[in-house]
Structure 1
Amino acid sequence: MLAAMPSFAQVANNTALVGTVTDASGQAVTGAKVTAVNVATNERYSATTNEEGAYTLTFIRQGTYTITVEHAGFSRSVQEGIVVDINRTVRTDVSLRVGSVSESVTVNAGAPPVSTDDATVAETLSSRSVVDLPLNGRDALKLAATTSDVIVGPKSNQTGIPPGEDFIGAGQREITNSLTLDGITIMNNLITVTNVRPNVDAVEEVQVQNGNYTAQYGSYMGVHVNLATKSGTNDLHGAVLEFVRNSLFDAHPFFDTPGSPKKPLHINQFGAEVGGPVYLPKLYNGRNKTFFIASYEGLRQIKSPSQLGTTFTQAMRNGDFSALCTAGFNAAGLCNTASQQIHNPTTLAPYANNQIPSNQLSGVSQGLLQYYPLPNIPGTNTFSGPVAANVSTNQTLERIDNNIGDKIRLFVRYDWQNTNIFGGSITPTGETYGPAYNRNIAIGYTHVITQNIIND
């Protein structure tokens, strides 16, 4: 049995809006009211500029914001389309014009600004990238490999032990990864691979960090990949999906023997996602306050990719290993290359001409050899043939966000996944099978006590 148990270590939320408010002469404006509104959920965050004209809105949710700045004697300034990625600090400086507060100046943001308030080296793939970019297997984590200095690690294997994938980046080994879902680790405890693959329709962003980490990432020096799940919005929305790959639709691969049957390939991915405000007729209207998202995805995969494996020739099964000595034997029957000479494991005496007497062949090994194929590539001890790589997965993800006024925000997210694998092998001792269970929960509580005191 393979299992990833629930984990309670969470990476802190560093998402923030900062900026400086000045007048037309460049002097700081003290006491200006700054309000940021999340366009999708209508969540509001407020602050007041200090004596240096600076404001900070911390622990906010990722999304697109409208920022309004007001102060007596100045026209209201409205900054629209401010995109805030997870765990990034976004600066929006504002210059106020003299005028009445009833007047407003609206500015539409262009390209997202370069983050200059922290030294983190990170790339964030937005929900549009997650949904629109071609993803083989609908695996959002694979988007990490589209960023600079990150590649998929060699331990990645759907039917491996443990099953899953990992990455290499920042000049470090793959064992120094950090892979998280909403800041909660989803890595296997033994090797830094993960089998967690949430429905991409429930993923808001994929953030990849590979250098100059903030303090909460100090445990790992390699690449840090965080999947941020979506929250519901004021608009009810949903999606239904079905992806099919089948050998019936495919031509024969170029290297197939003419007339040979196709190798089986049957992949079905199906599921649904729905999100919006919590609404109970005549009981509760959660618009602007309480939101939900729920998703399900199933995978049924049966395929037989080709694999190469080293096995025993018929001569080796009979105890004749003379083919291992490519340098030839001397008059005493010893191989001219010492590293190619075989020995009795008990007495360490060399076998003449690399031949084991039949009375020393193990009966147990002879019984096992009937399950090992003979080589089928001429002149080698290599066998090439199809092996099974079968996967069956059911996965759900649910999340509820609740705002209590403008000061308290709560969320609960639960990811559940059951996977059964069967991985074939050229040699019977290399096969893998079994269940992989993943349970991952995140609970968030943020309370803005004062502008400078926040409990998260």
Structure 2
Amino acid sequence: MNARERKMEPMVSSRFVGVVSFVLAVAIAALCDAQTFRGSIAGRVTDATGAVLPGVTVTATNNATAQSRTTTTSDTGDFSLPDLALGTYTLEATLQGFQTLKVTVEVTVSRVSSIDLKMGLSTVAETVQVSAAILTLDTKSTALSNVIQPKQVQDLPLNGRDFTRMLQLSPGVAGTSVNGVRTRGNNYQIDGADNNDAFQNIAAVNQGGVSGIAGTLLPIEAIDQFSVQSGGSAEMGRNAGSTVNLVIKSGTND
């Protein structure tokens, strides 16, 4: 190996490392972008006196698909079930010596449904089931979020059947401008995937067509939930206005 080849070797190595680092950064960013279209359930389990209960088995079962996720409370009685498909869930908490508790929880897009469970002592096997859905609050995020539920999505008289009209149902919105940010300041997503026109920075779906190419129209009937978030965390990112997330309907066991 001559002197010139020895001099070029570290340059090639550093370029290779730089390219690999860039590819990994892009891949990680893409994965992060696709983590916002589902919901989560989190909370704490205590006994009748308010003392935390570790080791409680908490299971969330989707009422439409019967799919379930299970976790166990920590030493502080806390539990978390992230990345759940949207829908209505039956949350069940079980621990030997305590009454089995069942409650109904609604999981919505890009939200953490926070719920605290209180279990009573039991001398015999018995179950306490709360038939009405419990009011849940997202206490984990500082984002301002508005979720349009499936029935509203289907029943609203939208001009031109354009989903962007639902933006106006959120506070701080004028037309498609959120909190005074220009109309191109929104980050549009479908099931957490990018839905932005690279040139105009508007929703890629539901355009009238560019340069004679027919546009793609998304039927309102295909939308399950519509979410608008502003002032969110770095998880959302990209645009200063808001993150507009459409969730497409999925199948059930019916």
Runs of 4+ in 1 over 3 A off after TM superposition: 8-11, 109-112
- 1:332-355 CA-partner distances (Å, limit 9, x unpaired): xxxxxxxxxxxxxxxxxxxxxxxx
> Where does 1:146-295 land on structure 2 (aligned, <5 Å)?
146-152=169-175, 167-196=176-205, 197-211=217-231, 213-235=232-254
Question: Cα–Cα, structure 1 residues 65 and 210, in superposed 2: closer, same or farther, change >3 Å?
Answer: same
How far has the Cα of 1:28 moved from its partner? 0.6
> Where does 1:289-304 land on structure 2 (aligned, <5 Å)?
none
Q: Given that residues 72 and 101 in structure 1 are in contact (C-alpha distance below 8 angstroms), is that contact kept between their aligned partners in structure 2?
A: no
How far has the Cα of 1:93 moved from its partner? 0.9
> Does 1:57 pair with 2:81?
yes
- 1:171-193 CA-partner distances (Å, limit 9, x unpaired): 21222211111111222111122
Distance 1:46 1:127 in 2: 26
Q: Given that residues 141 and 227 in structure 1 are in contact (C-alpha distance below 8 angstroms), is that contact kept between their aligned partners in structure 2?
A: no
How far has the Cα of 1:31 moved from its partner? 0.4
Q: Which runs of 5+ in 2 are unaligned?
A: 1-28, 206-216
How far has the Cα of 1:131 moved from its partner? 0.6
**2:210 matched residue in structure 1:** none
> Where does 1:13-412 land on structure 2 (aligned, <5 Å)?
13=36, 15-80=39-104, 82-100=105-123, 102-110=125-133, 112-152=135-175, 167-196=176-205, 197-211=217-231, 213-235=232-254
Structure holding more strand per residue = 1
How far has the Cα of 1:139 moved from its partner? 2.1
How far has the Cα of 1:108 moved from its partner? 2.8
**1:271 matched residue in structure 2:** none
Question: Cα–Cα, structure 1 residues 234 and 70, in superposed 2: closer, same or farther, change >3 Å?
Answer: same
Q: Given that residues 52 and 76 in structure 2 are in contact (C-alpha distance below 8 angstroms), is that contact kept between their aligned partners in structure 1?
A: yes
How far has the Cα of 1:168 moved from its partner? 0.9
Moved more, 195-204 or 115-124: 195-204
Between the two structures, name the one with larger relative contact order (CA 8 Å, sep ≥ 6): 2
Distance 2:233 2:63 in 1: 28
Percentage of pairs with the same residue: 31
SS of equivalent residue, structure 1 residue 143: helix
Greater CA radius of gyration, 1 or 2?
1
> Where does 1:433-452 land on structure 2 (aligned, <5 Å)?
none
With the length of structure 1 as denominator, give the TM-score of the two structures. 0.45
How far has the Cα of 1:110 moved from its partner? 4.2
Distance 1:170 1:32 in 2: 43
SS of equivalent residue, structure 1 residue 137: helix
Structure holding more helix per residue = 2
- 1:338-381 CA-partner distances (Å, limit 9, x unpaired): xxxxxxxxxxxxxxxxxxxxxxxxxxxxxxxxxxxxxxxxxxxx
AA in 1 matched with 2:52: A
CA RMSD of aligned residues (A): 1.7
How far has the Cα of 1:113 moved from its partner? 2.2
Distance 2:119 2:44 in 1: 11
**1:386 matched residue in structure 2:** none
Distance 2:124 2:72 in 1: 16
SS of equivalent residue, structure 1 residue 216: coil
